């Protein structure tokens, strides 16, 4: 092997070194393949974040990806490469130790840690600023090298040299060469790669500035001196080290010693304790039997056959342990009284239903087990469990940590990447632009789901006040484009937990999450899935928390015990609410698009709700299934089937395929596929399409249909339906699980509105609407909503005599501890006066003012400004002589203020500013007289206007949405004191009014009315922003 | 201008007199102006050495206002003096004493008026990879007698350093290459065949400005006996001599 053939790049830092590398692992692998390297080593800072992606990409490109990390021992950096499996375990544990003892984002390691975890690692010891061997005048350099050699062994240490054509670096290199000669430690060359191609150096500089919190102009020599830290060919590297050929040859020796790859992680799934003498599958079978008897009462032959089939498949796939672990978690929830419900394809399983993991009867609904699990697929099943968000979900997560140990369980990571807006902010700052135009540009780049050329940075420059021809502005555009999709930092996945038998920290490094008590792995859910690490999703669902909170409120205040699992599924009042689209706050059917479909679909049974949940999804919309289904439902077109054999499959959905299970059954019936093959077909046609795979599977589909006599138009229709629908279809089981929750929430809204809205407000943020909208919706449903009052409000919202009392949690800036103290003191004795409140509640000065501004002290008399005046007059420090007197100061004379009271509009705006909600009049009610004089109608009045009439409406913009499937249309929801009104804006009109439509909070709209099947829209043609001098209502909820 | 300076002189004198009464020096004045239209202007004027001589500050303030005139009619002026304790300095028996700090401050203030405040100061090397980059920093009357301590000298070790006599501006060169190797160099006043060379050392930076640089530096020993640092300006495709090693 020649020198040029022997060179291996042993040190590549990817963008997963977070602001210290500028290329994705995949880009580094692609460039390495282009340069004809056969091996690449990704060595990220303090972790193996990029290793799975490099491993995947390297596998596809025919390269070998070595694993390693760049770590600092006592603040001095070196690279540790993994030689064997023991080394990988040690590296993971070493990084975990350093991470778990340091603040988030940092890693603190000492020599003792390295000593403990030295086995199986190869150290590349570099020189330079901050590196293990320091700079030329470092007196302790030999000492540190000797220590490393004694810890790792002489064979495991290499002095690493770089040549970036930098004069100062060359002095260090010469010193290192002399040191290597003197100590007998071999040299190894590397290019310390930090970006794939030379042109990526610009991004490296930008990241350096972000990391150093400076601008490019101010960074000076803290930036690299040239663009030489890119991947170079072996020939180039040999030329650079032509005087030190052994340094090049040693790269191959190191690579050959590092035999470990991620193909063998040594991961094992944990098992739970089994009853004596029973194996996992027998135990699972027994539990499923017991559960099925409880669920079904009588086990019919059909149920028996399904259970037996599923148990047999689970047994053959050796997955009983996985089901038992999920059952164990659900069982814990049941014991603790925590609502838990499996979602997703798990609801296709009768075993999951029997075990209590899911709530939908798959046998009764005719769901297809193979959508969940099949022998052909050879993958782990995916069971997601919905839990009430907040403390109860946290309790379940902590149970899992306790059950499997701190080192046996962790959350999966979520890699937060740069998007247009974040990239504009960072690059704008680094290039030294004024903050105001940069913020303006970022605000114009609202990432709606639908994107057109106007959404790109270059097209918004002029609006934001930039000159697009200026060189720095052109740079901004280029850098923002390059920065997008690069990792920004590591977050925590919303609910994915990974478990391991033994130590998870020997499989992947763990690190602390921002949230106390949480530990995350360094990989995201896709990385974990690719490497065969099993994940259980414990997802927090706000609506589950609402249901759980509402049940005791209903019991206490309405005297009714509600059992969510046994609600009557034929309640006419519930279907009446759904048909009228009165669904603000109702799970899954409260979006603008759902509300526009409900009056057309007119659900009148539970299965209609299952359809409704599934139908407003990209699949049915893009596949043009929605309108045929609605027309057939309204009997405007006949129900037909592509082939008579498909009638039993499509009959329930009037001949229109809406669910993934139907697609699978079509393939099974029409082409004779097995369940597993059908699922394989769905995946082949899904998001990660492979053309070769699609062609192969389509040929099988056609030949299967031909064998069954399905040819010509019918065959074409089936193929077309499957290929277009597979991409976006929605599982019926998932829809059914969500429909159960949707029904329960609608039931509570209809029959127990006070408890429903109270629980909604206590669990916000959740759902589509701001609390301000929920409060007004509650009032429209006859719930009296009372304002925040320090003499009776608790931290949470509550119900008093059938009315909803807004809780202190809505006062912005009030600490929960302070509110709890108010509750405690009030329970001891009511507050006699403002002075009494101040003295006993020990509120901070700004908290007192916020309470006064919110009108929460109105019970003591005086208007808000008067109360603020009184508070200012009170002694601020309650521990002083005068402060102590204030505690008994109910008799203190009031300090008269000559301040005028707030006007009603000012009070409403003060409510919004200090609490986000108002229990007084809606902001639009204050403007009504003026609006009426301009011919502006209310939302209620618009409903009575003839189709096509030209109207003016105005309201608070509560929702903005530009769906990807609506060809650039923008939809707004305006709210006024009478309800909500939908506005649709055509793309050309949106373009002309872009800034206004992006930012205005109060909007006046003119345009014609469009009526269709009870759904009313104003087609916006002209717009005007209404501004209020004293403040503004809350911002809209924009859908991205 | 003059009426404003008349007013400012009186105010500055009050401030410096008060500072002097406390036995302190003033190193900087903070001036805040409020305008008729509600606008504000805030500026700092610093002396090179602490002083209580109001004339120094009046001169500096005049120069500053001439440089950046106030845009509106002034309704309010506020002046704050930033004080510092006078620092005792041990003079050297063998070296001449420098000018008194107050006199120096006064001289610099006058220079500022003559040349403009942005053209008086000390040239320092900028924090840049570009070797010739310099910037003008405010003059500070600090002791120039900063010698390395014995310990610092010991830790530096027996490092042999070459001194480079830099050419500023860099000298245009003709460089002839043969088979991709440097062969002959000819500049104004020097030149010869290349005996040996080292390099290239690459410098590329300031890519975000309108004047980025991309250079390849070489150290060349010529047959004239000199060792020169030369570079190729990659963007402008020309050769220049950066200096000669002594």
State the nearest Cα–Cα gap between B137 and chain A, in angstroms: 15
Give the ipTM.
0.73
Q: Report whether A962 contacts A969 (CB < 8 A).
A: yes
Cis peptide before B200 (omega within 30 of 0): yes
What backbone phi and psi angles, to 5 degrees, belong to A159?
-80, 120
Contacting residues of B for A166, CB less than 8 Å apart: 201-202
CB contact under 8 A, A226 and B127: no
Residue of B131, B200, B205 to mutate, interface with A, max A Cβ within 10 Å: B205
Q: How does DSSP classify residue A889? A: G
CB contact under 8 A, B210 and A471: yes
Contacting residues of B for A471, CB less than 8 Å apart: 210
State the nearest Cα–Cα gap between B230 and chain A, in angstroms: 13
pLDDT higher at A4 or A421: A421
Q: Which residue shows structure tokens 């600023």?
A: A129
State the nearest Cα–Cα gap between A223 and chain B, in angstroms: 9
Q: What is the pLDDT of residues A721-739, one digit of tens each?
A: 777 666 666 788 889 989 9
Residue of A136, A137, A220, A226 to mutate, interface with B, max B Cβ within 10 Å: A226
Please compute the mean of the pLDDT values over residues B130-144 and round it to a whole number.
77
Contacting residues of B for A165, CB less than 8 Å apart: 200-202
Q: Residue A94 and residue A151: Cα distance in Å, rounded? A: 14
Q: How far from A757 is each of A340, A574, A764, A772, A899, CA to CA, in Å?
A: 21, 16, 10, 12, 36
Q: Is A470 on the interface with B (CB under 8 A)?
A: no
Cis peptide before A772 (omega within 30 of 0): no
Find the range with the poorest average confidence among A93-102, A398-407, A926-935: A398-407
Q: Does residue B167 surpass a pLDDT of 50?
A: yes
Would residue A862 be called left, alpha or beta, if left means φ above 0 and alpha means ψ between -120 and 50 degrees?
Answer: left
Closest-CA residue of B relative to A137 is B156
Q: Is A243 on the interface with B (CB under 8 A)?
A: no
Closest-CA residue of A relative to B210 is A471
Give the model's pLDDT for residue A875. Answer: 55
Handedness of CA A252, A256, A258, A264 (dihedral sign): positive
Instruction: Find the helix packing angle between B54-67 and B101-115, rounded to 10°.
Output: 20
Residue ranges of alpha helices (H) inside A62-117 are 85-100, 111-116
Q: How confident is the model at residue A431 (pLDDT cuts 50, 70, 90)?
A: very high
Strand partners, A918: none
Contacting residues of B for A475, CB less than 8 Å apart: 208
Q: Is A138 on the interface with B (CB under 8 A)?
A: no
Contacting residues of B for A139, CB less than 8 Å apart: 155
Q: Does residue B146 surpass a pLDDT of 50?
A: no
In the sheet with A803-805, reading across from the earlier edge strand, the strands are: A785-786, A803-805, A798-800
What integer best gives the mean pLDDT of chain B? 85
Give the model's pLDDT for residue A452. Answer: 61
Instruction: Find the helix packing angle between A301-316 and A320-336, rounded to 10°.
Output: 120
| Residues listed for chain A | 1040
State the nearest Cα–Cα gap between B167 and chain A, in angstroms: 19
State the nearest Cα–Cα gap between B158 and chain A, in angstroms: 10
Please compute the mean of the pLDDT values over residues A425-449 and round it to a whole number.
81
Give the model's pLDDT for residue A689. Answer: 53
What backbone phi and psi angles, to 5 degrees, belong to A712?
65, -140
Q: How confident is the model at residue B149 (pLDDT cuts 50, 70, 90)?
A: very low
DSSP A496-559: EEEE-SS-GGGTS-EEE-SSTT-EEEEEEHHHHHHTT--EEEEEEEHHHHHHHHHHHHHHHHH-
Contacting residues of B for A170, CB less than 8 Å apart: 201
Q: Does residue A502 surpass a pLDDT of 60?
A: yes
Contacting residues of B for A201, CB less than 8 Å apart: 204
Q: Report whether A11 contacts A20 (CB < 8 A).
A: no
Closest-CA residue of A relative to B198 is A167
Give the model's pLDDT for residue A918. Answer: 95
Q: How far from B173 is each of A696, B218, B241, CA to CA, in Å?
A: 67, 13, 6
Residue of A220, A242, A470 to mutate, interface with B, max B Cβ within 10 Å: A220
Please compute the mean of the pLDDT values over residues A992-1016 and round it to a whole number.
89
State the nearest Cα–Cα gap between B163 and chain A, in angstroms: 15
Q: How far from B237 is each of B168, B232, B233, CA to CA, in Å?
A: 19, 7, 5
Q: Residue A564 and residue A340: Cα distance in Å, rounded? A: 12
CB contact under 8 A, A167 and B210: no
Give the model's pLDDT for residue A1032. Answer: 74
Give the model's pLDDT for residue A624. Answer: 75
Q: What is the pLDDT of residues A942-962, one digit of tens each?
A: 989 999 999 999 999 999 988
pLDDT higher at A698 or A212: A212
Give the model's pLDDT for residue B152. Answer: 40
Closest-CA residue of B relative to A479 is B208
Find the range with the poorest average confidence among A477-491, A695-709, B86-100: B86-100
Of B127, B202, B217, the CB nearest to A220: B127
Q: Does residue A5 surpass a pLDDT of 80?
A: no
Of B126, B128, B155, the CB nearest to A139: B155
Closest-CA residue of A relative to B158 is A137
Chain B residues with at least one Cβ partner in A under 8 Å: 126-129, 155-157, 159, 200-205, 207-210, 217
CB contact under 8 A, B205 and A226: yes
Of B128, B205, B208, the CB nearest to A431: B208
Find the range with the poorest average confidence among A81-90, A539-548, A802-811, A894-903: A894-903
Contacting residues of A for B204, CB less than 8 Å apart: 201, 225-227
State the nearest Cα–Cα gap between B149 and chain A, in angstroms: 16
Q: Residue A154 and residue A162: Cα distance in Å, rounded? A: 21
What backbone phi and psi angles, to 5 degrees, belong to A419?
-115, 175
Contacting residues of A for B159, CB less than 8 Å apart: 136-137
Closest-CA residue of A relative to B199 is A165
Give the model's pLDDT for residue A444. Answer: 72
Strand-strand pairing, A510-512 and B25-35: unpaired
Contacting residues of A for B128, CB less than 8 Å apart: 220-221
Of A262, A52, A244, nearest to A158 by C-alpha is: A244
Q: How does DSSP classify residue A469? A: T
Strand-strand pairing, A1022-1025 and A1002-1012: antiparallel
Q: Report whether A493 contacts A524 (CB < 8 A).
A: yes
CB contact under 8 A, B217 and A167: yes
Q: Is A515 on the interface with B (CB under 8 A)?
A: no
CB contact under 8 A, A136 and B159: yes
Q: Report whether A741 contacts A543 (CB < 8 A).
A: yes
Q: Residue A1007 and residue A1013: Cα distance in Å, rounded? A: 19
| Residues listed for chain B | 246
Contacting residues of B for A228, CB less than 8 Å apart: 202
Of B126, B200, B208, the CB nearest to A475: B208
What integer best gives the mean pLDDT of chain A? 89
B164: Cβ–Cβ under 8 A, 6 or more apart, which residues? B229, B242, B243, B244, B245, B246
Q: Report whether A842 contacts A887 (CB < 8 A).
A: no
State the nearest Cα–Cα gap between A433 and chain B, in angstroms: 12
Give the model's pLDDT for residue A169. Answer: 92
Give the model's pLDDT for residue A1028. Answer: 79
Please compute the mean of the pLDDT values over residues A967-976 and round it to a whole number.
91
Specify the pTM: 0.78
> Which letter, b or e, does each residue of B170-199 get, where b requires 16 or more Cβ atoms within 10 Å of its Cβ?
bbebebeeeeeebeebebeebbbebeebeb
Please compute the mean of the pLDDT values over residues A365-375 and round it to a whole number.
84
Other beta carbons within 10 Å of B87: 11
Other beta carbons within 10 Å of A297: 8
| Enclosing H/E stretch for A819 | helix A816-828
CB contact under 8 A, B201 and A167: yes
Find the range with the poorest average confidence among A761-765, B19-23, B37-41: B37-41
Q: Is A236 on the interface with B (CB under 8 A)?
A: no
Give the model's pLDDT for residue A681. Answer: 80
Q: What is the pLDDT of residues A148-190, one digit of tens each?
A: 999 988 889 999 999 999 998 999 999 999 999 999 999 999 9
Q: For residues A88, A94, A98 and A101, what is the CA-based torsion angle, rounded to 10 degrees? A: 110
CB contact under 8 A, B129 and A221: yes
| Percentage of residues of chain A with pLDDT beyond 90 | 61
Q: Residue B180 and residue B200: Cα distance in Å, rounded? A: 13
Contacting residues of B for A227, CB less than 8 Å apart: 204
Give the model's pLDDT for residue A691. Answer: 65
Give the model's pLDDT for residue A1008. Answer: 96
B225: Cβ–Cβ under 8 A, 6 or more apart, which residues? none
Give the model's pLDDT for residue A486. Answer: 94
State the nearest Cα–Cα gap between B212 and chain A, in angstroms: 12
Q: How does DSSP classify residue A461? A: T
| Enclosing H/E stretch for A1017 | strand A1015-1019
Q: Residue A730 and residue A753: Cα distance in Å, rounded? A: 31
Give the model's pLDDT for residue B85. Answer: 85
Find the range with the poorest average confidence among A210-219, A293-302, A669-678: A669-678
Q: Is A471 on the interface with B (CB under 8 A)?
A: yes
Q: For residues A755, A760, A761 and A765, what is the CA-based torsion angle, rounded to 10 degrees? A: 170
Give the model's pLDDT for residue B155. Answer: 45
**Residue B35 token pair:** 């305008």
Of B128, B155, B200, the CB nearest to A221: B128
Q: Is A224 helix (H, G, I), strand (E, B) or coil?
A: coil
Q: Is A116 on the interface with B (CB under 8 A)?
A: no
Q: Report whether B61 contacts B47 (CB < 8 A).
A: no
Q: Which residue shows structure tokens 């027996």?
A: B158
Of A226, A471, A472, the CB nearest to B203: A226
Q: Does residue A378 surpass a pLDDT of 70?
A: no
Contacting residues of A for B242, CB less than 8 Å apart: none
Contacting residues of A for B200, CB less than 8 Å apart: 165
Q: Residue B15 and residue B12: Cα distance in Å, rounded? A: 5
């Amino acid at each position: 092997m020649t020198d040029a053939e022997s060179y291996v790049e042993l040190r590549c830092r990817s963008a997963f070194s977070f602001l210290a590398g500028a290329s994705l692992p995949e880009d580094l692998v692609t460039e390495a393949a282009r340069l004809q390297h056969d091996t690449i080593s990704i060595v990220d800072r303090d972790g193996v974040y990029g290793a799975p992606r490099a491993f995947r990409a390297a596998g596809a490109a025919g390269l070998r990806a070595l694993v390693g990390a760049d770590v600092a021992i006592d603040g001095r950096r070196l690279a540790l490469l993994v030689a064997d499996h023991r080394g990988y375990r040690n590296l993971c544990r070493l990084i975990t130790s350093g991470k778990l003892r340091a603040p988030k984002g940092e890693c603190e390691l000492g020599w003792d840690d390295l000593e403990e975890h030295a086995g199986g690692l190869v150290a590349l010891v570099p020189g330079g600023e901050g590196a293990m061997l320091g700079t030329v005048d470092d007196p302790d350099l030999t000492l540190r090298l000797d220590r490393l050699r004694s810890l790792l062994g002489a064979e495991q240490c290499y002095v690493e040299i770089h040549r970036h054509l930098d004069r100062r670096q060359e002095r260090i290199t010469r010193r290192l060469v002399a040191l290597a000669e003197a100590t007998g430690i071999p040299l190894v060359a590397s290019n310390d790669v930090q970006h794939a191609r030379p042109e990526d150096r610009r991004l490296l500089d930008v990241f350096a500035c972000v990391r150093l919190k400076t601008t490019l102009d101010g960074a000076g020599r803290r930036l690299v001196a040239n663009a030489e830290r890119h991947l170079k060919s072996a020939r180039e590297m040999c030329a650079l080290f032509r005087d030190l050929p052994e340094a090049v040859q040693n790269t191959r020796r190191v690579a050959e010693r590092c035999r470990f790859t991620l193909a063998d992680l040594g991961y094992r799934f944990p098992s739970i304790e089994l009853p004596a003498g029973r194996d996992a599958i027998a135990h699972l079978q027994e539990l499923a039997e017991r559960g099925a008897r409880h669920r079904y009462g009588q086990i019919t032959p059909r149920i028996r056959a399904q259970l037996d089939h599923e148990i047999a498949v689970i047994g053959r796939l050796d997955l009983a342990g996985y089901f038992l672990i999920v059952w164990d978690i659900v069982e814990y929830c049941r014991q603790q009284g925590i609502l838990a419900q499996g979602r997703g394809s798990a609801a296709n399983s009768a075993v999951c239903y029997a075990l209590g993991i899911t709530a939908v009867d798959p046998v009764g609904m005719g769901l297809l087990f193979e959508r969940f699990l099949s022998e052909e697929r050879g993958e782990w099943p995916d069971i997601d469990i919905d839990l009430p968000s907040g403390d109860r979900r946290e309790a379940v997560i902590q149970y899992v940590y306790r059950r499997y140990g701190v080192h046996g369980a962790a959350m999966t990571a979520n890699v937060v990447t740069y998007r247009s807006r974040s990239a504009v902010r960072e690059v704008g700052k680094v290039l030294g632009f004024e903050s105001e135009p940069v913020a303006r540009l970022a605000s114009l780049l609202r990432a709606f789901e639908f994107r057109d050329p106007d959404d790109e940075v270059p097209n918004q420059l002029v609006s934001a006040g930039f000159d697009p021809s200026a060189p720095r502005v052109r740079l901004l555009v280029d850098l923002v484009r390059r920065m997008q999709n690069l990792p920004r930092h590591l977050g925590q996945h919303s609910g994915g937990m990974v478990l391991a038998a033994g130590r998870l920290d020997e499989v992947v490094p763990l690190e602390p999450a921002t949230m106390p008590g949480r530990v995350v792995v360094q990989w995201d859910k896709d990385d974990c899935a690719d490497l065969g690490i099993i994940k259980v999703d414990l997802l927090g669902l706000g609506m589950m928390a609402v249901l759980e909170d509402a049940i005791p409120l209903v019991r206490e205040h309405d005297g009714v015990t509600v059992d969510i699992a046994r609600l009557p599924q034929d309640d006419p009042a519930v279907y009446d609410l759904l048909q009228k689209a009165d669904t603000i706050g109702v799970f899954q059917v409260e979006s603008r698009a759902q509300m526009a479909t409900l009056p057309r679909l007119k659900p009148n049974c539970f299965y209609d709700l299952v359809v409704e949940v599934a139908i407003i999804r990209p699949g049915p919309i893009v596949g043009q299934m929605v309108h045929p289904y609605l027309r057939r439902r309204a009997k405007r077109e006949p129900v037909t089937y592509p082939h008579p054999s498909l009638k039993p499959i499509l009959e329930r959905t009037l001949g229109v395929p809406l669910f993934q299970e139907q697609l699978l059954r079509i393939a099974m019936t029409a082409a004779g596929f097995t369940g597993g093959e059908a699922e394989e077909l769905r995946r082949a046609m899904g998001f990660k399409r492979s053309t070769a795979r699609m062609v192969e599977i389509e040929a099988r589909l056609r030949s299967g249909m031909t064998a069954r006599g399905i040819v010509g138009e019918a065959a074409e229709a089936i193929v077309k339906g499957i290929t277009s629908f597979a991409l976006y279809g929605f599982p019926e089981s998932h829809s059914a699980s969500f429909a159960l929750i949707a029904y329960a929430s609608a039931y509570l809204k209809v029959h127990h509105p006070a408890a429903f809205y109270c629980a909604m407000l206590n669990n916000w943020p959740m759902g589509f609407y701001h609390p301000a909208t929920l409060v007004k919706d509650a009032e429209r449903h006859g719930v009296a909503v009372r304002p925040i009052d320090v003499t009776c409000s608790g931290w949470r919202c509550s119900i008093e005599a059938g009315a909803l009392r807004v809780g202190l949690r809505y006062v912005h800036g009030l600490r929960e501890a302070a509110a709890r103290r108010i509750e405690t003191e009030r329970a001891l004795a009511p507050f006699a006066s403002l002075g009494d409140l101040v003295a006993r509640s020990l509120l901070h000065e700004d908290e007192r003012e916020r309470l006064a501004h919110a009108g929460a002290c109105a019970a003591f008399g005086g208007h808000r400004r008067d109360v603020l005046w009184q508070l200012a007059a009170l002694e601020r420090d309650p521990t002083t002589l005068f402060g102590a007197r204030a505690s008994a100061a109910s008799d203190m004379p009031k300090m008269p203020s000559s301040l005028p009271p707030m006007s009603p509009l000012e009070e409403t705006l003060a409510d919004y500013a200090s609490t986000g909600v108002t229990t007084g009049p809606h902001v639009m009610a204050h403007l009504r007289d003026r609006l009426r004089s301009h011919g502006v109608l209310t939302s209620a009045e618009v409903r009575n206007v003839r189709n096509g009439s030209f109207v003016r409406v105005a309201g608070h913009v509560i929702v903005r949405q530009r769906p990807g499937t609506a060809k650039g249309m923008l939809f707004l929801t305006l709210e006024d004191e009478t309800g909500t009104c939908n506005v649709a804006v055509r793309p050309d009109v949106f373009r002309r009014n872009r800034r206004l439509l992006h930012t205005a909070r109060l909007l006046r709209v003119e345009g014609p009315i469009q009526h269709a099947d009870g759904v009313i829209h104003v087609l916006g043609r002209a717009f005007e922003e209404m501004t209020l001098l004293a403040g503004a209502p809350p911002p809209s909820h924009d859908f991205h | 201008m003059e009426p404003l300076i008349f007013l400012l002189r009186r105010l500055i004198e009050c401030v410096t007199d008060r500072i002097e009464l406390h036995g302190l020096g003033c190193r900087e004045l903070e001036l805040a102006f409020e305008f008729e239209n509600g606008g504000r202007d805030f500026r700092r004027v610093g002396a090179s050495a602490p002083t209580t001589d109001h004339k120094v500050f009046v001169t500096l303030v005049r120069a500053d206002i001439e440089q950046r005139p106030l845009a509106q009619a002034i309704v309010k002026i506020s002046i704050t003096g930033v004080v510092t304790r006078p620092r005792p300095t041990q003079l050297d028996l063998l070296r001449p004493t420098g000018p008194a700090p107050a006199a120096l401050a006064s001289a610099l203030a006058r220079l500022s008026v003559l040349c403009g405040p942005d053209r008086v100061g000390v040239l320092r090397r900028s924090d840049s990879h570009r070797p010739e980059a310099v910037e003008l920093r405010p003059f500070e009357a600090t002791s120039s007698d900063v010698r390395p301590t014995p310990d610092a000298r010991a830790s530096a070790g027996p490092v042999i350093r070459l001194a480079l006599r830099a050419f500023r501006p860099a000298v245009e060169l003709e460089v002839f290459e043969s088979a991709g190797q440097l062969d002959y160099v000819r500049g104004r006043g020097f030149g010869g065949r290349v005996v040996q060379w080292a390099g290239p050392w690459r410098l590329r930076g300031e890519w975000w400005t309108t004047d980025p640089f991309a250079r390849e530096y070489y150290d060349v020993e010529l047959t004239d006996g000199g060792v020169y640092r030369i570079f190729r300006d990659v963007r402008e495709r020309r050769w220049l001599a950066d200096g000669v090693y002594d």
